[in-house]
Structure 1
């Protein structure tokens, strides 16, 4: 089976050399999320996962008293990142959410919801099922859309959680912690010096938020 990625048409001219990372934020999420602690949501998720896992002889994890077995909600994480990185009065034109570990809330179209809560009501979509390459793929798509559509602001959100709500039946490598990174791209305001990020240079970075976490710290410390 072949998989194709459809990108916008190539731009007529080169992208602005001034366009780059304007702001960045990185947040850790050590506490259980609200959906995980909601017994109604937990019961529905348990039933959903039970139906999916039964044909493979697997079962969902039983949540502990705090709901930690069910992990984090990427919607909650992303909303906190948006508040941290998008300045008051600014509008975002494009939002891309990237993750590799499944979300706690599979019934929610998280990227669509974020398009409503993010200032500017941006075009939004998610990149997943890419393993450790999810964030790199998301960045390449973001750059392609921005170059061809003349966008002024684009937001990349990279999130991960440290738990699966089921035993996958095979060894898997999970992140050591639940955390997220936000990178706001665009032309600079007076006094700003954006950091350029080459999408091609991210093709071989290690999985997870690791490199993006370090990049966010670099931008924040400028």
Structure 2
């Protein structure tokens, strides 16, 4: 085999191996997002989402480490309408039960951020992510950051005049999570042989319409959740 052609074949094989690693990474992040949605649902059903009344992206990763820390967090919770109207008389142990759900939900969000960012930087530096693929992955990261902001926007709606978060903001938060999940799977599949097959236009249009209807149904479900 000529040397030039051999180099091309070797480069293609290397790229294929790199794309396989990228696919595994994206599918792993997708699995974490599914877990995040499940934990978020449990947090909603246990009415735990307002137990942490502040957004501290860095220091908030640590839970209360002393009795004084726990009491301080509990006092903050006592100041919001949910405690005054729904949970008046709740003890510290009861507060801890709802706190751990919300703390776990937020911690999982942070873990997903790192699980995406660190491999993203590695693949980008190695040149595996480039061109349109780099742009798509960067877009996914931006969507993830937006999801974190939407999450706090949702929580903030229940800290002053309500006993729960706004159902509209909840629906946006849930729908965006499902959209990100769909997008990350789509990017992963685009790196397979199946993802490169030419799809007839009517089938593609129908699939996108079905996805839009599913997301609309998820949004509607968020409006009546809990």
Q: TM-score range by the shorter chain?
A: 0.3 to 0.5
Normalised TM-score (structure 1): 0.37
Greater gyration radius: 2
Greater RCO (CA < 8 Å, at least 6 residues apart): 1
Higher fraction of strand: 1
Between Structure 1 and Structure 2, the one with more helix by share is 2
